[in-house]
Amino acid sequence: MRKLLYLTLSMAMVAALTAYAMWAADRPVGHYLSDLRINLAVDQGTPADRGNLLGIQPELFPTDYQSPERLHRKLAAYLQKARDQGLLNGKTIVVLPEHVGTWLMVSGEKDELYQATTLKEAMNWLAVSNPLKFVRALISAEGGNRLDDAHLRMKAKAMARDYQALFGGLAREFHVTLVAGSIVLPEPSIIDGTLKIGRGALYNSSVVFSSEGLPIGQPQRQMHPVFAEQEAIKANGEHSLNVVDTPAGRLGILIGHDSWYPDNYRRLDDQSVQLIAVPAYVAGRGTWDQPWRGYRGTSTPASVNLKSGEISEGQAWQRLTLTTQAPASQAIAGMSVFLRGQFWDQGSAGQSFLSSNGRQFADGDAHGARLLNLWL
């Protein structure tokens, strides 16, 4: 009788594990509808032969990341609208927002993940649907929040491959220089023209692609991750700022809160930077109009006289981002582009803006996808 019981239990366990393995391997593709519309919100300057900065503030949702092909369809529609309006040329620099590549972590997943109501629930589905990848990532996870680290790390190799194929492909397809927002990867680097990952800490990084679809220089790693990410994402301890030469001029990138630190602009000035791109992201619906919470986790630079609570989050971004505010920055133009959309229960804020000749031009409408153009 005992042998029969053991045999029955063993068969039941095998059947359960087989059913789970079949369920985890199944990746049905659900019906997909997406709004491909985008409006030209800001258009400054006069067309000339010096090129332009073109910011794309997309409106994205989890289903847009169900496959790289779906995300390509949406971003290509935005770029096609820009082309139709005469905003693309061989000297155009397109700027995408922070973390536009990070959400590739949920690509190719089960419908249950996209139908989740909270980010926590979605991440649980991510782990359950990829048990071996998740366990391996959890073993090698670093920092104070090993769970978040594992979620970001578990599909890093595929994320890096898809990021380069998608954004390098868009740059080549539309013949533009493209600042591909940012993506969180472990120890990212460009080796023989290919974005590779390492085994170390996670970094929020941005790659620039040429009109041939190839990476230019090394990934720019973020130096000051926002406080909520610091347990999983490491700050770039080298404090190096990469500068790339583009057909429109020398370009520097300040990811998110890196644009709040005056020393970074001085370092870019030392490298004769003419143009500055700021891929950015502000979490939380309505945060843009709420009181500014200060530097959150790092000391306030001595030259900054702002105090938390005395201005709004949006006003802080516009005052602390010093592009074209001489003598703080010698760049001739800059653009800050924010990611918009809804990722489960995580809303977003941020209104993109550009700077030229000491003036700022902002998009006052936070709804829908937006284009911002600055002729140089």
Q: Are 141 and 153 in contact (CB under 8 A)?
A: yes
**Domain annotation covers residue 135:** no
Structural domain contains residue 361: yes
Q: How far apart are CA 78 and CA 74, in angstroms?
A: 7
Name residues whose C-beta falls within 8 Å of residue 354's C-beta, 6 or more positions apart in sequence.
Answer: 42, 44, 53, 55, 333, 334, 335, 336, 360, 361, 372, 374
* 62 assigned to some structural domain: yes
The chain-wide mean pLDDT, for the chain, equals 89
Q: How many domains does the chain have?
A: 1
CA distances from 51 to 254, 265, 283 (A): 21, 22, 32
Q: Is residue 2 part of a domain?
A: no
For the domain that residue 312 is a member of, what is the CATH number?
3.60.110.10
Inside any domain, residue 8: no
Residue 198 neighbours by CB under 8 Å, 6+ apart: 186, 187, 188, 189
The residue segments making up the domain with residue 291 are: 39-104+159-375
Residue 200 included in any domain: yes
Q: pLDDT tens digits for 109-145?
A: 999 999 999 999 999 999 999 999 999 999 988 877 8
CB distance 299 to 333 below 8 Å = no
Q: Best-predicted range by mean pLDDT among 107-121, 140-154, 220-234?
A: 107-121
Is residue 3 pLDDT above 60, yes or no?
A: no
pLDDT of residue 230: 58
Residue 21 forms part of a structural domain: no
Residue 147 located in a structural domain: no
Predicted confidence at residue 302, as pLDDT, reads 83
Q: What confidence tier does 151 reach under pLDDT thresholds 50, 70, 90?
A: very high
**pLDDT for 294-353, tens place per residue?**
887 778 888 888 888 899 999 999 999 988 677 788 999 999 999 999 999 998 999 999
Residues 58/352, Cβ–Cβ less than 8 Å: no
Q: Residue 30: pLDDT above 70?
A: no
Reported as a pLDDT band with limits 50, 70 and 90, residue 76 is: very high
